[in-house]
Structure 1
Amino acid sequence: MSAQKRLSVVLIAKNEASLLEDCLKSVSWADEIVLLDSGSSDDTPSLARHLGAKVFENKDWQGFGKQRQIAQDHATGDYILMIDADERVSPELRQSIEACLQQPDANKVYRLGRRNLFLGRFMRHSGWYPDRVNRLYKADKYRYNDDLVHESLNFQGAEIVDLKGDLLHLTCRDFFAFQRKQMNYAEAWAKQRFEQGKRCSYFSIISHTLGAFFKTWILRAGFLDGKQGLILASVNAQYTFNKYAALWAFSHQLQKSEPL
């Protein structure tokens, strides 16, 4: 039987001091914790060091995918567990992770189910649960794509294995902060698609917006999440509208700037 592999917990952060302690305590059992700071103005770096993390800094922001990979490159463990400051590893998930490290398989990428908090309620429907994400993998085999937003792990056809236990995600603690983040994501999404040559029509804005509401509220049973489900369906529709309206606006501005 092979020896248990070393685990590096890796996260990127900026001004996350208010969330960091509970996050790092939930993974204090790992062999090392690596935090890459993006230029915090609060106590994030010093607090992370106090809690036992190895802290590095990179202010040259090139998108979430690139930043995660830079953070991963600082890790020395055999396996990577990639998390965020607003996530916490539950005891059951810890047991699942430790079991994987005792019987490692480099050809597998492990997928974690996230339980997302929205306005005081951990959602069970609306497409927000189990919200599986690929986060545990062999350090020297898998890397992140260079995406500006909604970054993804390039797992190269590996077998995906679902782990038991939840990754608790404090998605929406402050509604206005959540909305601001959604706007930033929408702008980054539209910019990336525009630079890739993508365009959209005025009709696409409306159809995608209505589709997002219907998908969340009906197809993903958001109505079973009560008032929060209805609000979330509306928020998802708003976010979708912002994405496609921004993409349309980029295209419209380009047309106006072109010489007649």
Structure 2
Amino acid sequence: MKKALIIQNKYIGDVLVASIIAKNIKSVFPDIEVHFFCYNKAISILDNNPYINKIIDFDDTELKKIPVLWKYAQCIRKEKYDIIFDPYAKLQSRFIILFSNAKRRISFNKPFFKNLYTDVFLEEKYPKIVCCTSIENRCLLLTPFFQDFSTINFQTEIFLKDSEIADARKLMSQAGITFSKPILMIGVLGSVLDKSWPLEYMSELINLLTQNFNVDILLNYIPNQKKEVENILKNVTNKKPIYSNILGKNIREFSAILKNCTALIANEGGAVNTAKAIDIPTFSIFSPHKFRKDWGCYENLFIHKSFHLMDIFPEVYQEFSIKEILKNPTPFYKLMSPDKVLPNIDKYLQEVLKISPKGKTFSKIPSLHPKITALAITYNEEANIDRYLNDISFADEIIIVDSYSTDNTKNKFLKYPNVKFIERKFDNFTNQKNFAISQASNDWIIFFDLDEHIPEGLKIEILTTVNSENTKDAYWVYRNFFFSGKHIKYSGWKNDKVIRLFKKNKVHYRENKFVHEEIICDTKAGFLKHKIDHFSFNSIDSYHKKLNQYASLKAEELFKKRKKPNFFHYYIKPAFRFFSHYFLQLGFLDGKSGYIIAKMYAQYVLDRYKYLDQLWNENRKL
């Protein structure tokens, strides 16, 4: 009689998935004896499994010791296995394989170790059949015994006894559950806090369930998470239909309790895998660092659904590595705010579980994330409005302070109901911007000009920044400067930066600066890594007009400081400005555009002193 060994150290979900190998190898060789080498805290998931003849359990900490590992390797060698499946494929399992003397040793094609095995398979990156690679890749190890991969039975199973299910039902009855209405188990936490949907978001889910649906709610967590559960319940209004102490003493008792529930809503993980193995409907909330393609098993079936950050912000994964997300997961979790997730759960309850709400639907769902106000001051910006509003669509509030534009700016903004449009006579840029800040309702401000474009990466960085636990009061953003569509890399614009993100109550513009306004912030500002695109130069004429306005305002600023122009200002300063832009700041490398820019800024310096002279002449006439 043939003998086979399956090595799958941990965790519960992995052990459960690996047990599929036992079921399928038995279908090929009905008389084969199957053993399972398993982490002792996960063996109960395999109890009563008709496809496994023997469980070899171990303590994970002890197995890391060479003498203990050697002892297990010798025992396994004595068993004289014909086939060893190694889906764990780690150093410990390879050590066992090395001394096993099994005729057939099957694992994955990993560097340096593939010669230990008789059959190796390259893991697939994307699933084909059951929506997740975690199952399909383990089933790849069965390929030598199946001509058609699609005929493999991919369904995980936990074999509960009728008596276990009945005992769990009795336990639930004793706690006060009548089974007269749907029972939802809520997995309120992941294995650790950093792998859990934020506690305040989970409170909001429970609030909305109790307010809108006639259901009983069981909370699932591990005992050492009791404090976090108490914090969740502090923010729950109606605690009457909530049962927080029906946990189960072990994985089997938990599974039996879950078997008596209508569905599980939880952080993706072991509880969700368990529910799928006992045929209980699930709605799972994925950690930002995990993906459906790996663990979204059986979502091709109607009863299993999930929510992932990818659903709302796919660009996150173009800008941040999984390593970066794992290092600081909180801001990414907070992007999955209740207003984004809960409508999906509402739909799941009604369409999949057929649970009718008390009213029409969920009441208004709060976002709970830090809110952002987008501010802008405008004058004749009709050409940039659509792009600007698309760029700042992630803001919770949009306020425009317009200086009585003479084009179609006002009418275009008024077409957008989410925009607050205010008209104010222009005196200078500083006063206009400080007025705009005073109108904001939210703590965080983004203050972009309409001739600036916000790339997707910067949008995501802004959202993750404000959602972070440790934030600065203000943030610099570097700008890519464009002249008539050409990216200007030198000419004084190489390191151009502006503060575009800040806290309302921590920042204001310096009042004595009428142009090239300055931010006043008591603390050191941080830096965002993504740049904005600045399209200030649409044409030479339009930029001449802008610089002319700046020159006039700068002259007023200098006049208030009682500055008087002289030969130095008229001749030396303009000439030096040209020299600085074109030579010192390498403007000549920008070609003809660099020359034009240098010339225009020299003229700007000259004009401001001409305007200053006019102000002094007018003052003498008074």
Q: TM-score, normalised by structure 2?
A: 0.39
2:384 aligned residue: 19
Indicate whether 1:154 and 2:528 are aligned.
no
Report the alpha carbon displacement of residue 233 of structure 1 after superposing the two structures with TM: 0.8
SS at match of 2:440: coil
Inter-partner Cα distance in structure 2 for 1:75 and 1:132: 24
Q: In 1, are the aligned partners of 2:452 and 2:533 still within 8 Å (CA)?
A: yes
Q: Which amino acid aligns with 1:141?
A: K
Alignment correspondent of 1:135: 500
1:200 maps to 565
Does the aligned pair in 2 maintain the 1:22–1:88 contact within 8 Å?
yes
* Residues 46 and 128 of structure 1: CA distance in aligned 2, closer, same or farther (over 3 Å): same
Paired residue type of 1:233: A
Per the TM alignment, residue 7 of structure 1 is displaced from its structure 2 partner at its CA by 1.1
Alpha-carbon offset, residue 73 of structure 1: 1.7
Match of 2:490 in 1: 125
Residues 104 and 174 of structure 1: CA distance in aligned 2, closer, same or farther (over 3 Å): farther
Q: How does 1:105-120 map to 2 (within 5 A)?
A: 105=470, 107-120=472-485
Matched, 1:233 2:598: yes
> Which has more strand, going by share of residues?
1
Quickly say closer, same or farther: Cα 1:84–1:53, change in 2 above 3 A.
Answer: farther
| 1:71 matches 2:436 | yes
Q: Which residue does 1:243 correspond to in 2?
A: 608
Greater length-normalized contact order (CA 8 Å, ≥ 6 residues apart): 1
The corresponding residue for 2:371 is: 6
Query: Which position in structure 1 is the counterpart of 2:402?
Result: 37
User: 1:73-120 deviations in whole A, cap 9, x for unaligned?
Assistant: 222122001011111111121122112111155643100111121133
Superposition deviation, residue 198 in structure 1: 1.1
Per-residue CA deviation, residues 185-206 of structure 1 (Å, 9 max, x unaligned), is 1111112211221112123221
Provide the C-alpha distance between the structure 1 equivalents of 2:471 and 2:564, rounded to a whole number of angstroms: 39
Q: Judging changes above 3 Å, is the alpha-carbon distance between structure 1 residues 198 and 53 closer, same or farther for their aligned structure 2 residues?
A: farther
CA distance in structure 1 between the aligned counterparts of 2:502 and 2:479, rounded to whole angstroms: 17
* 1:140 counterpart SS class: helix
Match of residue 180 from structure 1: 545
Structure 1 stretches (4+) deviating beyond 6 angstroms?
Answer: none
Task: Give the deviation of 1:253 after TM superposition.
Answer: 5.5
Change (3 A) 1:69 1:106: farther
What residue in structure 1 maps to residue 307 of structure 2?
Answer: none
1:40 to 1:55, Cα distance in 2 relative to 1, 3 A:
farther
| Structure 2 runs not aligned, ≥5 long | 1-329, 335-368
The answer to which of 141-150 and 182-191 deviates more is: 141-150
Aligned to 1:98: 463
Would the aligned equivalents of 2:485 and 2:535 in 1 still touch at CA under 8 Å? no
How many pairs does the alignment contain?
Answer: 256
Q: Quick check: 1:10–1:72 contact (8 Å CA) kept in 2?
A: yes
Matched residue of 2:600: which SS?
helix
Shift of residue 18, structure 1, vs aligned partner: 1.2
Amino acid at match of 2:466: L
SS of equivalent residue, structure 1 residue 159: coil
Question: In structure 2, do the counterparts of structure 1 residues 190 and 92 end up closer, same or farther at CA, with 3 Å as the change threshold?
Answer: same
Long gaps (5+) in structure 1: none
Shift of 1:42: 3.0
Which protein shows a greater Rg?
Answer: 2
Moved more, 59-68 or 210-219: 59-68
- Residue 97 of structure 1 aligns to a residue whose secondary structure is helix
Structure 2 letter corresponding to 1:134: I
Provide the residue aligned with 1:144 in structure 2: 509
* Change beyond 3 A, Cα 1:51–1:165: farther
Instruction: Give the conservation status (yes or no) of the 8 Å contact 1:37–1:55.
Output: no
What SS is found at the alignment partner of 2:516? coil
CA distance in 2, matches of 1:249, 1:14: 26
- CA offset digits 1:10-44 (Å, max 9, x no partner): 10112211111111101112222211122123332
RMSD: 2.1
Deviates more, 1:37-46 or 1:180-189: 37-46
Identity of aligned residues (%): 27
Aligned-partner SS, 2:527: strand
Q: Is the 8 A contact 2:473 2:506 kept in 1?
A: no
Superposed CA offset, 1:130-175 (max 9, x none): 310012111122112233222222112x212121112111111021
Say which of 222, 225, 229 aligns to 2:587.
222
The answer on whether the counterparts of 2:551 and 2:607 sit within 8 Å (CA) in structure 1 is yes
Give me the whole-angstrom Cα distance separating, in 1, the residues matched to 2:569 and 2:414. 48
**Does structure 2 conserve the Cα–Cα contact (< 8 Å) formed by 1:110 and 1:160?**
yes
**Does the 8 Å CA contact 2:510/2:517 hold for their aligned counterparts?**
yes
Q: Deviation per CA, 1:189-232, whole angstroms, max 9, x where unpaired?
A: 11221122111212322110111011111111111111101111
- Of 184-193 and 95-104, more deviation after overlay is shown by 95-104
